[in-house]
Amino acid sequence: MQKRTHIPTREEYHQTLARLTEEKNLDALVAVRMGCELGVSRLELVNIKVTDIDRMNKRGIWIEVAKKVRRGYKQGRGKHKQRNFEMRQREIPINTSLYQLLISYIDKSQVYVLKRHKGDKTKVFVPRNVNKIYEDAEIPWSTHRSRHFFTNCVKDWMRKNRQMDDELIKEYLGHQKTVTENYGGLSWDYKIEVIDKAFQ
């Protein structure tokens, strides 16, 4: 298969969504929109539970299993110290349109948002399944490029409105912030407002 390394344009993105809607391919539509409008990685996407929607804030998704990050050291066997890893967690705001789609799509009898049509419905997909959803639906860009698309959309809106905010972008993507950025915080209303405007 040809390597899909380009980032979609907005026009290409909307054409793809229209095709998936016409084909009634809801599984692919949800997977693509969550990648492109939430900026989540494959690991995060497959681990999002139905109960993670609105868990902390209305129109938010709690990301329980995100990127693994190093957090100091722990005592290993004997006198050796081992690096201590833990999963970074965060909450991502959902734009109004995607929120409505997710609420109508989710099956409360399943544990995870991405639906299993075969096998144990209580078990999580492996991240490779997201690639398969993209490939089967003939999405012309990779799952990782969806994350780039998300970043471009948010940055485009910020530049257009002269409101660049690198701290907010880091928070959306789950990137590590500087010591200074960790002081204080960003309000939920602000995070929702920017995401709504970037994906109108």
Domain presence at residue 69: no
Domain presence at residue 3: no
Instruction: Report pLDDT digits (tens) over 72-111.
Output: 566 666 666 665 545 567 899 999 999 999 999 999 888 9
How many domains in the chain?
Answer: 1
Domain presence at residue 107: yes
pLDDT at 108: 87
Domain presence at residue 79: no
pLDDT at 5: 78
Domain presence at residue 17: yes
Average per-residue pLDDT for the chain:
87
Instruction: Report pLDDT digits (tens) over 158-194.
Output: 999 999 998 899 888 887 666 555 555 789 999 999 9
Domain, as residue range, for 190:
10-63+94-198
**The pLDDT of residue 1 is above 50:** no
36 within 8 A of 28, measured Cβ to Cβ:
no
Average pLDDT over residues 2-18: 88
pTM, rounded to two decimals = 0.84
Strands 81-87 and 90-93: unpaired
Q: Which of 170, 172, 177 is nearest to 193 (CA)?
A: 172
Q: Could you tell me the two tokens for 193? A: 């407002």
Instruction: Report pLDDT digits (tens) over 112-156.
Output: 999 988 888 888 889 999 999 999 999 999 999 999 999 999 999
Measured distance CA(191)–CA(130) in Å, rounded: 26
Domain presence at residue 2: no
Residue type, 131: N
Measured distance CA(21)–CA(110) in Å, rounded: 22
Domain presence at residue 51: yes
The CB-based long-range contact list for 147-150 (8 Å cut-off, 24+ gap) reads 147/35, 147/39, 147/40, 147/41, 147/173, 148/7, 149/7, 149/8, 149/13, 149/35, 149/36, 150/35, 150/36, 150/37, 150/38, 150/39
Residue 30 C-beta-side C-alpha neighbours within 13 Å? 20
CATH number for the domain spanning 159: value is 1.10.443.10
**The pLDDT of residue 43 is above 80:** yes
Domain presence at residue 72: no
